[in-house]
Structure 1
Amino acid sequence: MAKLHNYYVLCPLIDQKSFLGVAEDKIEEHVIVTLGRNVVNKYQLSDQKQIGGWTSKDHITSTVIYDKEQESYVGVFNNNTVKIWKEDSDNLDKIKKFKFPINILKVIPRSKQPPLIVFSNGNCASLPYALDNRKTYESKSLLKDTDSIVETASYTINKTDYICYVVKNNKDAYEILNCPLRDELGDMDKSKLTRIKITRPDDVYVVGKFICTEEKNAVYILWSDGKMTVYDFKDWKTIGNVPWVSTLSSVSLAWMGKDHLIVFGSNAEQDGAIIIAYNIVLGVGSCRYPMKMYSENAKLYCFYGRIVLEASNHIGMLPYVLQTKRNLSSLLGSHEIIQNECMEIANWDSPTEPQFPVNDDTKELLKLGLTERSICNSVIPPLLEKSDFRAVYQTLKQFKDVPETVLVAVLKYSINLVNPSNIDVTDAEEFAKLCSGEHTTKKDHIVHKAKFELLNFTLQISFSDALIIPPLRNGLRLDDTLFLMTYMAHILINSDKNMDTDYESKLFDWFTLLMDAFYQQYLMTKDAKVTSVLQNTLNVVVDLITQLHTVSKVLPVIHKLLSGKMIDNDEGSLSYAIELMQI
C-alpha cells in the first residue's frame, strides 16, 4: 500500500504554457526543470533548493535531459537544433549547434545506451548516429498529416530495444505504435512495426494514457467511464475502476513503483483536484491526496520517492512511501462489478495449446477454471510428500496467492529440511556453522544453500494474520518456532545476506506472529532454551532500536553538512589537554 506525505512547492512557474518538463540529473535526488522557452534550472529535491541553471536566447522546445554516456546535457532548440553542453558551461548561445532538416519532438534518455532522438514524423535514432547523419537523415513520415505523437517511451526486452508511441488523430482516436530498434543505430526496424488501435465497443473515450517502462512494460489507458485497461504488448486486460477522480476532463498518469500508478485529475465533485495512488494488481485506490487547483493535461513524474507535479503556477512535490502489507480495510467497498473486455489479437503461428510456464498437473487445473488458491492447495502438498525440495521451490514461485495452510506446511517442511538433526539453538557457534553450510564438498554446499533458499523464499510469502494463526499453532512444534526465531535473528544481525526493506519488514512480521501464536507456551514453559531464545530476540530488538536512535541523532547533522550550514560546537563537551610546566 502507499502513503502520501505533505505537499511542497519545488519552484514557481514562469508560464504554464511554456513549461516543458522535468528530467533526472546525474546526481541522485537532483532534477532538471525546463521551466520555459529560455530557462533551465537544476533543483535538489531534499530541500527544494536551486543548485544551478542556464538561460538561452534560442527557444528551448523540448525537455532538457542528462546524457550519462557523454556526461553532458542535451537540449532541443527551435524545434530542429540540438545542443550538447557540460555542467560548467555558462553561455548556451555559444554552444555548437547541430541543425536537422526535420523537426525534433524530444530526446529520450536511456540508462546504459546513448539517448534517442524522436522526430515529429515518427522516426527515431540514437543521438550519435543522428548527429553524424543529420544532413541526410530520412524524412519520410510514419504518421499521417492528421496524427500527432502524445506519448513516447523506450524499453528493453531480452536485450532488444523498442520504441513505443501513443498517437492521436484529429478525431480523438488513439493507436499504439511499437517497433524494435536496430543495435547501435537506434533507428526503427520498420519491417517489424506494429500498430494497435486503442478502442472499446462501448461509447467511451480516452481521458488518460501512459507508457510504463519500469518493472512492467505496458501501456495504461484510462477511459471516460473510469475503467483502467492495460496493454502488455500482447493482450489487453481490464484492471478495474479508478475511484475518487472525475473522468469528464483529462487525467495524468505516472508510474509510482511496486504495482502502483499515480493518478492526477479533477476530483469527483469537480471543485478541486486529487492525487491517487492506484494499485494495478488489486485494481483499487490505495490512498488519495486532495488539492485545491486542477491543471488540464498536467505533466506528472515520480523521482526518488517523490511525486513531481505541474500545478497552475508552480511545480509541486509530494513525498510518498510504498508498503507491501495487505490491508483489507483499503479494499472494502472499492471494487465494482466490471466486465473484463479483452481484445483478441490473432497470432496464426501460435500453437493451439497455450504455453503455460507450469507443469502438466497445473495446466489441467487451469483448464477447469479453479482459483489460484485452489490450484496451489492441490499441487503443493503432493510435492511435499515426494520430498523434492527443488520442485517445491520452483512450483511455489509460480503462485502469488498461497493458502495459509499450505504456507505453514511448506514452512514446517523447510525447517525440517535445513535442521534435520534438531541442533541446540542456544549454541551460537554451532548454529552459525549450520547457517554458513560448512561442508566438505562443493556439491553438498550447493544443496545446502538451495535448501535455505526455500526457507528464505517461504518467509517472504504474504499471509493474513487471522487466517494463519490456527494452522500455525497446529502445524509447528515449539522447537520449530525457537529455531525460526533464532534463524531470523541470525540473518538480521550476523548474516552477510543482502536484504531489501520488504524482506526485513516481513521478518519482523514473522517475529510478531510467532509471539502472538505461541505466547502461552512461551509463558508456561520453564525451559532454559525458551528463555535464551526470547532473550536473544529481545537483544536484537533493543540493538535495532538503539541504532535507529543513533541514526535519528546523526541525520540533522548530515543535513546541515549537505546544505553547507555551520555545525554548532558545544564548548563544554570539547576535548582538552592539561600540560604541567616547570617555571
Structure 2
Amino acid sequence: MAKLLAYYSLCPINDIREFLGLSCDVGSGCIINTLGRNIIQVVKLSNQKLQHSWTSLERLTSKVVYDFRSERYVGVFGSRYIRCWTADQIDINKAKRVKFFRNILELLTLDNGQVLVVYDDGTCESLESAVVTRNEDRKHPDSIPCKPNVDPTRASIQQVCTAVTTNGDRLLTYFVKDLECSMMELNFVPLNKENLKPVGEFRKIKLERRERNVQLVGQCIVDGSGGPSLITIWSDKRIFAQFLNLEEDYTAEPQSKSIGNFISILNMINTGQPLSMIGISKDYIAVYASNLNQEGATLLLYNVQFKAVQAKQFFKVYFSNSRFWVCENHILLAFGQTLAVVPFKISKEQLSDMVGTQKSLDLPNYVDNESINEDCDYNEGYSFMGHLVNTVDRIESTDEEQKTEKFKVFESLETFEESLRIVYRSNIQVDIVRDETLPEDVVQMRMMSNVDRSIGPLIFSENFETFVNELEERGFCEMEISDKIIPIMLEANATLDIAKCLKRYSTISERALVATLKYALACKEPQPSKVEIPDIQSLLLKCSDVKLPDSKQKEEFSNQYILDCHDISDQARNDLLNIVLSCSLNRSVMLPLLRSEIELNTVLDLLDHLLFLLIDPVAQLMESPTNSDSFDSDEKVIEWITLLIDSYYQQIVLSRDNIVKEKIVTLKNTVERHIDSLRELKSLAPKIQRLAEGKGRDNERQSNQWYSVETIQLY
C-alpha cells in the first residue's frame, strides 16, 4: 500500500519558468536545489536546513547534479560551458570552465554514479566521454558517430529520464513535442554501458489516438513489473500502458505503433485542465491534476499493476504550470510560487488492504460507454454456438485385453454447466456458522477465516458490526477501520470484540496495537458479563474525531498487570494479550511508540510473560488468519523480546535495580540453554542421518558384558 504524508513548503519560487530543477545530493535526505539562474542550494529535507549555497555570475541553463565518481558538483553555464567544484569551495566562479561545441540540454545522475550529458539534438554520452570527445566535435562536426535525432529549431525535448530493463539494459527516454502542431512523440534508445552513447536507432512511438476530439493530457515512464512502460492519460479520462520492448521492430513509421492497452478510467480528476505525472516507484505514478469541481487540486498515487488509486492529497488552489521531481521517498512538486515536499511511503503490497477501497456510493445502474474497451485490437470471449449432437454413452471392448473404455459426451449445455458447478463446489471450503445475534429470517454470507474456534465467528456485537459494515461499504481500508473502531471498543471495555477485530483484520496500525497492548496489560479485575456498548448513533458521531488513548492518562490504566481474566474460555491460548502479541508489526514504527506509551515496569512484566511463553512447552501464541501457514510462536516471542529490550536499552543498561538485573540474567540463561540445545541437535544430526541411511556401527568394537578387567592399587 502507498500513503502520502503531510506536505510542507520548502522554499518560495519567484518564477516557475526560471526554476531549473532538483537533483539528489550525496548526503542522505539532501537535495540540490537550482533555485534560479544564478543560485544553487543544498538543503536537507528532514529539517529544511541549508547545507551549502553558491551564487554564480554566469547564468545556469540546466539543474546542477552531483558526480559521485569525481565527488564534485557539475553545472552547465550558457549551454556550452561546464564547471565542476567541490562542496568546500566557496566561489564557484573561480572553477575551471570546460567548453563544449554542442548545446547541452540537461545533466542526469544515474544510480551507478555516472553523469549523463544530454544534448539538444537528442543524443547523449557520459560526462567522461563528453570531455574527451569535445575537441573532435569541434574539428570534425560532420563525423560525429551519433547522428542528431531531434531538430531543436522545430521540436523541443521534455521529461528526459533513464530506465533499466529486466535484462539490465539502460534506456534513455524523452518526449519530443512538435512546435508547430504540438504533437507528442516518445523516443527511446538503449545506451552503451561504458560511454552511455546510444546503441542503434531511436525507437519512436507517436502519442495519438484515432478518436476525434481526444487530446493527450499527461504522459510519463514508469518502472513496471515487466520493465519500463509508457503511461498516458487522455482527455476522456482513459489510461493506457505500453511496454517498451527493445526486440520489437520500430523501423516503421511511428504512427503505426500503438500507445498500448487501455487499463482503466480515472474518474476522480478533471482531465480538461493540464496535469503533471511522474513515475515514483515500481508500478506507481504520481499525478497532480485539477479536481472535478474545478476548485482546488489533487495529488494522487496510482498503482499501475492493480489499476487503483491508493493515496490522495488535496490542495486548495490548482496551478496549471506544475513540475515533478522525486528524491528517495519524497515527492517535490513545484506549482505557483511554492516548492512543496510530500513524503510518501510504499509498504509491502497486500491485496487485502485494497478490498473495498475503490467502492463508490453513486454507482450507476446501467452500462455506459466507459465500460467498453474500444481501443483493443481483440477482445477475448467465450460463447456457445451451434447445436450439440444427441449421443449416447458407448462402450468399446476388445476380446484380447478384456478392457472397457467409456467415452462420455455431454448431451446439452445445461448438463455441462451443472457438472462444472459440481466441480466448483467440491473445491471450495465453506464453514457455516450460526450467528445468534441475527434474526431467524436473516442470512448473511461472509468469506473469512475462523482460525480459533473458541472465540467463535469473527463477527462483532450488533452495534459494532453495523458500524463496521457501514465503513466497509464506504470504501475504508482495514487500517482505517481498525483505527476508528478499536478506540471505541477500548472505551466500551468490549474485550471479546477487540480480540475479534485483531483477528478479523490483517493490517492494524502500530499505534492501535500499542493502545490495545496497554489495555490488555491493565486488565486485572474480572470483566462484567455484560459490557456497555454505545448505540450506532454514538458510534457515528465519534468516528470523525476518534483518537487513540493518550499515554499521559495514567489514571485510566492505573494497575498495569498481565491480563489474567477475560470472557474467553481458554486463557492459556486465547487471552487478549496473546492475540496482540501475535499481530504483525513494523519494527521501526513500533520502537518510538513503545518508548513513549509504555513504562519500564510494564515492560518488565511483559518480559516475564514472554519468557513464560518461551519456556513453557504448551503455552504459545495464536496464529492469525493471514499467517496461519507460516506462523511460528517462538519466533514471534523472540521478536517481541528484542523489541522491548531495544526500546528501553539505555534504561536497562544504566539501571541498578536488582530485579531488572535478575530478569536480564534469566533471559540470558534461557537463550544460552536454547543455543546449547541447538548445538546438541546439530551434533546429533550426522548420527540420525547415518541411521536413516541404514548404516550401523560396524567399525566400532562391541563391548562384552560377561566380564570386566579392573586394576587395583594395593600399596
Class of the TM-score when normalised by the shorter of the 2 chains: 0.5 to 0.7
Cα offset, 1:113, TM superposition: 5.1
Aligned counterpart, 2:619: 531
Alpha-carbon distance in structure 2 between the residues aligned to 1:25 and 1:333: 42
Alpha-carbon distance in structure 1 between the residues aligned to 2:169 and 2:45: 33
Aligned counterpart, 2:492: none
CA contact (8 A) 1:240 1:338 kept: no
Whether 1:201 aligns to 2:249 is no
Give a deviation string over 1:158-192, Cα, whole Å, max 9, x none: 243321221111212111112122342222223x3
Q: How does 1:477-492 map to 2 (within 5 A)?
A: none
Q: 1:162 to 1:277 in 2, by over 3 A?
A: closer
CA contact (8 A) 1:214 1:255 kept: no
Which of 242, 246, 249 is the equivalent residue of 2:273? Answer: 249
Aligned counterpart, 2:199: 189
Q: How does 1:2-41 map to 2 (within 5 A)?
A: 2-41=2-41
CA contact (8 A) 2:64 2:73 kept: yes
SS in 1 for 2:128: helix
Q: 1:22 to 1:187 in 2, by over 3 A?
A: same
Unpaired runs of at least 5, structure 2? 138-143, 246-257, 364-369, 384-423, 430-445, 454-499, 508-566, 575-612, 623-632, 653-715
Q: 1:537 to 1:218 in 2, by over 3 A?
A: closer
Give a deviation string over 1:9-51, Cα, whole Å, max 9, x none: 1122233221111111111111111111001101111111111
CA contact (8 A) 1:123 1:188 kept: yes
SS in 2 for 1:247: coil
Aligned counterpart, 1:223: 234
- Paired positions, count: 407
Alpha-carbon distance in structure 2 between the residues aligned to 1:275 and 1:553: 43
Letter in 1 for 2:357: S
Q: 1:278 to 1:544 in 2, by over 3 A?
A: farther
Which one scores higher on RCO, CA 8 angstroms, separation ≥ 6?
1
Give a deviation string over 1:439-473, Cα, whole Å, max 9, x none: xxxxxxxxxxxxxxxxxxxxxxxxxxx64516x68
Q: How does 1:328-339 map to 2 (within 5 A)?
A: 328-333=355-360, 337-339=371-373
Q: How does 1:490-505 map to 2 (within 5 A)?
A: none
Alpha-carbon distance in structure 1 between the residues aligned to 2:427 and 2:136: 64
Alpha-carbon distance in structure 1 between the residues aligned to 2:113 and 2:377: 34
Letter in 2 for 1:265: A
CA contact (8 A) 1:153 1:213 kept: no
Cα offset, 1:333, TM superposition: 3.2
Whether 1:173 aligns to 2:261 is no
Letter in 2 for 1:101: F
CA contact (8 A) 2:103 2:119 kept: yes
CA contact (8 A) 1:241 1:284 kept: no
Letter in 1 for 2:171: Y
Alpha-carbon distance in structure 2 between the residues aligned to 1:83 and 1:551: 49
Alpha-carbon distance in structure 1 between the residues aligned to 2:275 and 2:114: 31
Alpha-carbon distance in structure 2 between the residues aligned to 1:105 and 1:260: 27
Alpha-carbon distance in structure 2 between the residues aligned to 1:536 and 1:213: 39
SS in 2 for 1:26: coil
Aligned counterpart, 1:571: none
Cα offset, 1:214, TM superposition: 7.5
CA contact (8 A) 1:58 1:77 kept: yes
Which of 241, 261, 274 is the equivalent residue of 2:298? Answer: 274
CA contact (8 A) 2:67 2:113 kept: no
Q: How does 1:551-566 map to 2 (within 5 A)?
A: none
Q: How does 1:532-551 map to 2 (within 5 A)?
A: 532-533=620-621, 539-540=637-638, 543=641, 546=644, 549-550=647-648
Aligned counterpart, 1:148: 156
Q: 1:548 to 1:280 in 2, by over 3 A?
A: farther
CA contact (8 A) 1:151 1:211 kept: no
CA contact (8 A) 1:239 1:281 kept: no
Letter in 2 for 1:197: K
Aligned counterpart, 2:127: 127
Aligned counterpart, 2:479: none
TM-score normalised per structure 1: 0.62
Q: 1:79 to 1:407 in 2, by over 3 A?
A: farther
Cα offset, 1:272, TM superposition: 1.6
Cα offset, 1:313, TM superposition: 1.6
Alpha-carbon distance in structure 2 between the residues aligned to 1:186 and 1:289: 38
Letter in 2 for 1:105: L
Alpha-carbon distance in structure 1 between the residues aligned to 2:651 and 2:183: 56
Q: 1:308 to 1:174 in 2, by over 3 A?
A: same
Q: 1:523 to 1:238 in 2, by over 3 A?
A: farther
Give a deviation string over 1:190-231, Cα, whole Å, max 9, x none: 3x3221111222231111111235864122211111112122
TM-score normalised per structure 2: 0.51
Alpha-carbon distance in structure 1 between the residues aligned to 2:89 and 2:272: 46
Alpha-carbon distance in structure 1 between the residues aligned to 2:11 and 2:377: 43
Aligned counterpart, 1:212: 222
CA contact (8 A) 1:219 1:232 kept: yes
Alpha-carbon distance in structure 2 between the residues aligned to 1:343 and 1:83: 52
Whether 1:301 aligns to 2:321 is no
CA contact (8 A) 1:154 1:213 kept: no
CA contact (8 A) 2:222 2:285 kept: no
Alpha-carbon distance in structure 2 between the residues aligned to 1:407 and 1:56: 71
Alpha-carbon distance in structure 1 between the residues aligned to 2:645 and 2:376: 51
SS in 1 for 2:281: coil
Cα offset, 1:248, TM superposition: 1.7
Q: How does 1:374-385 map to 2 (within 5 A)?
A: none
Alpha-carbon distance in structure 1 between the residues aligned to 2:173 and 2:210: 24
Cα offset, 1:120, TM superposition: 0.6
Structure 1 vs Structure 2 CA RMSD: 4.0
Whether 1:233 aligns to 2:233 is no
CA contact (8 A) 1:165 1:176 kept: yes
SS in 1 for 2:32: strand
Cα offset, 1:101, TM superposition: 2.0
Unpaired runs of at least 5, structure 1? 345-365, 371-402, 409-465, 475-508, 555-583
Alpha-carbon distance in structure 2 between the residues aligned to 1:207 and 1:512: 45
Alpha-carbon distance in structure 2 between the residues aligned to 1:553 and 1:294: 50
Alpha-carbon distance in structure 2 between the residues aligned to 1:525 and 1:211: 51
Alpha-carbon distance in structure 2 between the residues aligned to 1:112 and 1:407: 50
Q: 1:213 to 1:278 in 2, by over 3 A?
A: closer
Letter in 2 for 1:161: R
Letter in 1 for 2:371: I
Alpha-carbon distance in structure 2 between the residues aligned to 1:272 and 1:525: 52
CA contact (8 A) 2:222 2:283 kept: no
Q: 1:550 to 1:80 in 2, by over 3 A?
A: farther
Alpha-carbon distance in structure 1 between the residues aligned to 2:372 and 2:82: 48
Alpha-carbon distance in structure 1 between the residues aligned to 2:377 and 2:69: 40
CA contact (8 A) 1:293 1:311 kept: no
Cα offset, 1:529, TM superposition: 5.0
Q: 1:521 to 1:152 in 2, by over 3 A?
A: farther
Cα offset, 1:130, TM superposition: 0.8
